[in-house]
Amino acid sequence: MESIIYLEDVHKRFGRVHALRGVNLRIQKGEVLVIVGPSGSGKSTLLRCINQLEQCTSGKVTVDGICLDSAQNINAVRQEIGMVFQSFNLFAHLTVLDNLVLAQKVVRRRKKEESRQIALDLLKKVGIPEKAHAYPSHLSGGQQQRVAIARALAMNPRIMLFDEPTSALDPEMIKEVLDVMLALAKEGMTMVVVSHEMGFARAAANRIIFMDEGQILEEAPPDVLFTSPKHERTKLFLSKVLQS
């Protein structure tokens, strides 16, 4: 299998905080990778280094064979990587439809009709075609997050990154978002997910990574990691997370 994302000895410092301490990671095409770990362990930073929302201090990030070292490369690669945020970040001044159309028009230079059609199809896919002309503030959190996923998918990304997509949601809305993500995983999308949804990890993940203090402490398929974690730290963390 070819690896689509390749991180080599990645370090990230925020001033005096050393957020990532030498991360090495290969992600295969079509793989669903879930990153877990305590808060402050560098999960989100790692994810944001993949599409360079955070520039890593040292180390090499290669996505889809393109090394992320110049601004030009970064914009090119970002088109191939969809990202979903904890706080949705829908464009507040645009309707749902225009949220999906904007980047297609500006970045992909698609025709208006074509991009609208793609947008409407995707809204159908995430289950809210009737909200096409609503503004984000009129949607529930779960609906907003599904729109955000559709917006990312409209660019036909080859990789999807999810940064705690369900952490800001009410419990009853988590499922609708996870269902969309599960469907996406079944279609063979390459996904990197930072999440504490262990149910999702068990159902969809090929591999789980446990991070602590800026390093990858342990990685294994979900059934292995959940039943027989190697490190004490992982055991402690899992016992707390799985309890709830």
Partner 1 sequence: MFTRREPKIDDQELAHIPGAEPQNRIDVWWWLVALVAGIIIILAVAMPDPYWRIILFVRDGITITVLITVVSFIFMLFVGMLGGLGRISKNRAFNLITTLYVELVRGVPLLVQLIWWYFAFPVVIQQIGRWTGISFMATYRANAIVLAIFGFTFCYGAYMSEIFRAGIQSIPKGQMEAARSLGMSYFQAMRHVILPQAIRVILPPVGNEFISLLKDSSLVSAVALADLTRRGREFMAVNFNPIEVWTMIALLYLVMTLFSARIVNWIERRTKFER
CB-neighbour burial class of residue 108 (10 A; exposed 0-12, middle 13-18, buried 19+): middle
Q: Which is nearer to partner 1, 53 or 120 (CB)?
A: 53
Interface with partner 1, residue 109, by CB under 8 A: no
Token output for 53: 């929302």
Query: x/- site string to partner 1, residues 201 to 220, per CB under 8 A?
Result: --------------------
Q: Is 152 in the site for partner 1 (CB under 8 A)?
A: yes
Helix (H) or strand (E) holding 75: helix 71-80
Q: Which of residues 88-107 bind partner 1 (CB under 8 A)?
A: 88-93, 102-103, 106-107
Residue type present at position 242:
L
CB of 89 or CB of 215, closer to partner 1: 89
What is the rounded CA–CA span in Å between residue 202 and residue 101? 34
How many chain residues bind partner 1 (CB under 8 A)? 28
**Helix H or strand E segment including 174:** helix 171-186
Q: How far is CA 208 from the centre of its chain?
A: 14
User: Contact positions toward partner 1, by CB under 8 A?
Assistant: 51, 53, 75-76, 78-79, 81-83, 85, 87-93, 102-103, 106-107, 135, 137-138, 148, 151-152, 155
